[in-house]
Structure 1
């Protein structure tokens, strides 16, 4: 019988906000998953974690981390490795991803036996290798913002999902407004997952998913300007993108931004107001926020 239980380990070490992505780029290719989170904003203390199985040499990872630190003139971190409890990860994923209603949408995984309520729009999204299965507050806030805009009668004719992840926001737009959506991401795996999810949800004819680095490259430049841009990324890249957003949006066009913490709200707001946007709405869920700007 197939067994979903596998032996996993967690490797972790202290780092900083600037160093974490450097380690992430290197280790993402050789482990199952990487993540990092902030411990203390005042001291820029972050923790980097990666998950690995028993086929990955702990010693090789230690050497790789040391080489990466030295080549980037970073302190060599003190590394800890611990066992993760034996878990049926497939069953655990299903338990952690129950069907849920967000705005006008009923989002569920393929494991769900629940019928779709007649007054809601069903979206089948499975936890996968690309971000955006609906369970995170940032995705929820974006869907609520888009649902509210649609309910208020606001119209879009040429939308863009920037950093599409699983493609969930592109599908929300396509389902609400019944029109084609361009979805781009700099990760080929996200593009693949978006295309697969579009097929599952009968959006293959309305969603074009392409690999593109932000606003650079013909995938976005040749198809703009857009009257709606959604971007569920992170605060820092969102701020960096503000000038490109302003150049790529039509007059009276809107951008929906998320992936930012409430304490980062003013920073993002200032970056977008500086290039001519006006904040018209915000959706806050816990520590996370989604902002709606109009040009």
Structure 2
């Protein structure tokens, strides 16, 4: 069983997790087939979806999610698969070249590498390749509102550290000639941006997720002595401004662009964000391997990494 992206996230969040899972290095030397990988990852995706939907109630109080039953998670599977399908179809019509995504075909693109006899492996939600570049897209069943409101306050309700252009969301500092201090105090801007590098933040956790994928992909190229092509990294999420107009085709909702030109799927360009994350991911890998070499059997301090009251709560 190789270290998957979800394994990587869990094994590095707490020094005791590997001990509780009784993970052995000898078991991390075999790659997973796509069905095996999907079986392991699917449950985590659904738990993640529940986290995003029910973490707080309308009054802002935490909701206890640890008692959610598997049947409840399974009811969300069709919804999640629909989002993935919509994202794949959007990429097909938006980017030229070959697009590979899973639609019950077991044809997702796979990357793996080996470090210290441990195999690290990921399958990609969506892979697009043309003559000039590669686009790697991770699908998340969350909304653009979560990102576009980052930077807003009661006083500055329209302010954000992100901007939207041609249905792609970018960090504003990537704008040509953008002066941060004309809109933010520099310390405030950095405080908001720092959330994107916090793996336990509601926005940052998705950046960390795809940054791990980038780490796996780039190490695959390095291990095989292949020149690294230009690769763009995106999150594909639901557009909170999209309004379904009620059109159906073959008894299914037809999610074409709405009357305001909004697509149901919007992309976030995280290429630069994930690049600046790579040294930290490498440190996390080394830490993971140290946990494997030295089981932590004693008690550890509780913290955000425990994800208490969430379906992803540690043992």
Q: TM-score range by the shorter chain?
A: under 0.3
Larger RCO, structures 1/2 (Cα 8 Å, 6+ apart)? 2
TM superposition score normalised by structure 1: 0.28
Structure with greater helix share of residues: 2
TM superposition score normalised by structure 2: 0.26
Structure with greater strand share of residues: 1
